[in-house]
Amino acid sequence: MPARPLVGLEMTPEHARLCRELAEIWYQQIPLTRALDLRVQAFDGHSLEVAADLAPNVNVHGTAFAGSLYSINALCGWSLVHLQLQLSRLDASIVIAEGQISYLRPVAETIVARCEFGDQQDALERLQQRGRARLVLTSETLAEGAVAVEFHGNYGVMLRSQD
């Protein structure tokens, strides 16, 4: 059963600031996010929701384009890792090492991807000790209240040198 949506959740001032900074990174360093019309919808420090309107992501069937769904869900996980690193005061580079997606039903509405950080404490400790770690996250997109897309991402994280 999918987790409850975060929509309407009041973000703390720190979370809101981190999300504004994240959007700047998206739009300046990941040009695809502009074309997707991606935006942060909610962040509670543990879970992240991102959204994109259907219109710029539509396919010939009038539903969400599979490539857009992949990108939005992959970016949701990447963004949650980024936000968690910011909260932990860790300066690191993040790449998606592997991603697997299941398209379970068409999405014909605003695309909302949601990802939870889960118990990643071991991975964060490994990152601090060894300078690198892998974090495995799952994001979902719902359509009409049911899971339409399930994305499993393996994110490689490496601390930047502190010279």
Determine the average pLDDT of the residues in 144-161: 95
Tokens for 160, please give them. 């930047």
Instruction: Report the pLDDT averaged over residues 90-118.
Output: 97
Residue type, 151: F
User: Cα(118)–Cα(83) distance, rounded to whole angstroms?
Assistant: 14
Summary mean pLDDT of the chain: 93
Average pLDDT over residues 116-140: 94
CATH class of the structural domain 13-159: alpha beta
pLDDT at 10: 72
Q: Which of 100, 102, 97 is nearest to 133 (CA)?
A: 97
8 A C-beta contact, residue 134 and residue 154? yes
Tell me what pLDDT residue 162 has.
57
Position 112 scores a pLDDT of: 97
Average pLDDT for 122-138: 95
Query: Sorting pLDDT into bands at 50, 70 and 90, what band is 3?
Result: very low
Enter the pTM of the model: 0.91
Q: Structural domain boundaries of the chain? A: 13-159
Which pLDDT tens digit goes with each residue over 44-57? Answer: 999 999 999 999 99
CA proximity to 113, closest of 139, 143, 80, 151: 139
- Report whether pLDDT(161) > 90: no
